[in-house]
């Protein structure tokens, strides 16, 4: 019987991860340095945390998640907004599909996906970039500290 700690609510987990679209485009990830998260602290959405439960250090796993899994919810059409092209710096790449970081009126940073640019307007989708989409979640678990 293994005494290796497994991921449970409250565990601290050091891991590498990647979130990718089916075409291989990476939307998020830990990069060179591993990410340290505490399960249940809101760093990961509940659906992704549920996939990690029971894994231990040394685990490599991947899941193909479909829009039907609702991990990031369905797309809310009210979160697709039109902005004036003049609000964007000239050098900004507004190619449809690009993810752009915006500052909200409350001062927090939010992601928006450029949907289209036409007639001096930019359509921006402020839903999570993975809401209503298929994606792959890959992880390498480096260390698990039991809840403390």
For 60, counting Cβ atoms within 10 Å of its Cβ (0-12 exposed, 13-18 middle, 19+ buried), the class is exposed
Instruction: Give residue 1's pLDDT.
Output: 53
In a domain, 3, yes or no: no
CB distance 39 to 49 below 8 Å:
yes
What CATH number is attached to the domain comprising 98? Answer: 2.40.10.330
121 in any annotated domain = yes
Q: Which residues contact 69 (CB under 8 A, 6 or more apart)?
A: 47
| Domain presence at residue 7 | no
Same-domain status, 35 and 64? yes
- 28 occurs within a structural domain: yes
Q: According to the model, what pLDDT value does residue 66 have?
A: 86
Task: Tell me whether residue 135 is in a domain.
Answer: yes
Count of domains for the chain? 2
Same domain, 21 and 68: yes
* Largest separation between any pair of C-alpha atoms in the chain: 66
Residues 51 and 32 in one domain: yes
- Among residues 127, 132, 103, the alpha carbon closest in space to that of 115 is found at 127
Is 34 contained in some domain? yes
Range of the domain at 85: 77-125
Q: Are residues 68 and 141 in the same domain?
A: yes
Which of helix, strand or coil describes residue 48?
helix
5 in a structural domain: no
Phi and psi of 47, rounded to 5°? -60, -40
- Do residues 89 and 66 share a domain? no
Query: pLDDT tens per residue, the chain (148 residues)?
Result: 557 899 999 999 999 999 998 888 888 899 899 999 999 998 899 999 999 999 999 999 999 998 888 888 888 999 999 999 999 999 999 999 888 888 888 888 888 999 999 999 999 999 987 888 899 999 999 999 999 7
């Amino acid at each position: 019987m293994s005494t290796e700690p497994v991921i449970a609510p409250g565990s601290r987990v050091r891991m590498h991860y990647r979130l990718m679209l089916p075409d291989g485009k990476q939307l998020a990830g830990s990069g060179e340095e591993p990410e340290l998260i505490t399960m249940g602290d809101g760093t990961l959405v509940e659906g992704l945390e549920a996939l990690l439960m029971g894994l231990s250090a040394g685990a490599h796993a991947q899941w193909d998640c479909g829009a039907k899994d609702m991990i990031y919810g369905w797309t809310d059409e009210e979160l697709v907004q039109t902005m004036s092209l003049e609000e964007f710096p000239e050098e900004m790449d507004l190619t449809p599909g690009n993810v752009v970081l915006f500052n909200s009126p409350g001062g927090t940073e939010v992601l928006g996906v450029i949907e289209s640019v036409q007639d001096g307007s930019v359509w921006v989708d402020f839903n999570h970039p993975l809401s209503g989409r298929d994606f792959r979640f890959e992880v390498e678990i480096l260390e698990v500290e039991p809840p403390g």
